[in-house]
Structure 1
Amino acid sequence: MGTGSISKVKWLPGHLLVVVAVLVCLRLGWWQWDRTREAEGTLQNFAYAILWPAFGASFIYMWWRFLSLEASREAEDDRELDEDLALMSEQEAADRADRAELLALQASAAPDAAPQLTNAHESDVTEPTDDADREDWFVGTVEEADEDSDPELAAYNRALAALAEEDRRRAG
């Protein structure tokens, strides 16, 4: 159990409650001990004089156990988070490598059709100003999807094509 978990501000009310409970138990034990020493004191008073401090000790043990379990749970959560972050970074690196490999394959297969990757700023891109230029302005491509390999992608592409056609009809 780390010391950071015990000193958290959110545990302050719990610490205070345990201290008060232990002090009350000790005071009740002291009172029972005084009752045992009086003339009408009994064995029952003596038993309670021992039992009340035991209750106080159990409060301390329960609070310590609670903090230990909470600290181990937090450590487990931190470990899982670190593992997830490491896995995500490995996947991102693999994705980047796959993309680079795919671009290299595309460039070697058709060098004239290879995409040009540049660091263009938004200010470098100019949008056509009149409708004639706008019709010829090329925004991007949608590759034909093989419906046998990915029917969901093919349906999505058909829906996008229908929306684009509807926009073209509205515009002109």
Structure 2
Amino acid sequence: MSRSLLTPRWLLLHALFIVATIATGFLAVWQWDRAHEAGGSFQNLGYALQWPLFGAFTIYLWIKLMRMELRRDVDDTEPEAVEQPAAREADSSGGEPPEATARRKRPLLPPPAPPVDASEDPELAAYNRYLAELNEADRRAS
């Protein structure tokens, strides 16, 4: 098990998932017993069959979150290995290659859409102006 899955946050999550899984088991047994009592109904039987599914989903979610955390740890270590060759090139040539700088500083974004003229679609042009104003206000705020 990775050390990142033993942090206080993850220990609390492990406890929460264990309690939730056990609780769904108890609720399934309780609904099963209610379905077989004199006042029980098919609704209780349906719930008795649903609670184990909720427990299975809890376990699935727990495993999925742990895998995402482990993958995030691996992804955090990989960029260093990728950037080291670029750093070696920079050391040998005296400066950092512009591609490496651009790759490291800018996130991958799609290219901007071509501008829309107001004569083509006035509503879309007005919306784009509104988005540009919001973007400019956000830049000024930060």
- TM bucket normalised to smaller: 0.5 to 0.7
Contact 2:5 2:66 in 1 (8 A): no
CA 1:81/1:23 → structure 2, altered by over 3 Å: closer, same or farther?
same
Please give the TM-score of this superposition, normalised by the length of structure 2. Answer: 0.59
Q: Secondary structure at the match of 1:63?
A: helix
Which residues of 2 match residues 78-157 of structure 1 at below 5 A?
78-95=77-94
Q: Unpaired runs of 5+ in structure 1? A: 97-172
Alpha-carbon distance in 2 for matches of 1:86, 1:64? 35
CA distance in structure 2 between the aligned counterparts of 1:51 and 1:5, rounded to whole angstroms? 35
Shift, 1:7, TM fit: 3.7
Partner residue in 2 for 1:4: 2
Partner residue in 1 for 2:46: 47
- Give the Å deviation of 1:29: 0.7
Change in CA separation of 1:5 and 1:61 when aligned onto 2, cut-off 3 Å? farther
Higher-Rg member (1/2): 1
User: CA RMSD for the aligned pairs?
Assistant: 2.0
1: CA distance between counterparts of 2:74 and 2:56? 27
Aligned to 2:31: 32
Q: Which string of whole-angstrom CA distances, capped at 9 and with x for unpartnered residues, describes residues 78-113 of structure 1?
A: 1112111232133213439xxxxxxxxxxxxxxxxx
Measure, in 2, the Cα distance between the counterparts of 1:7 and 1:85: 28
Instruction: Indicate the residue corresponding to 1:19 in structure 2.
Output: 18
Question: How far did 1:56 drift?
Answer: 1.2
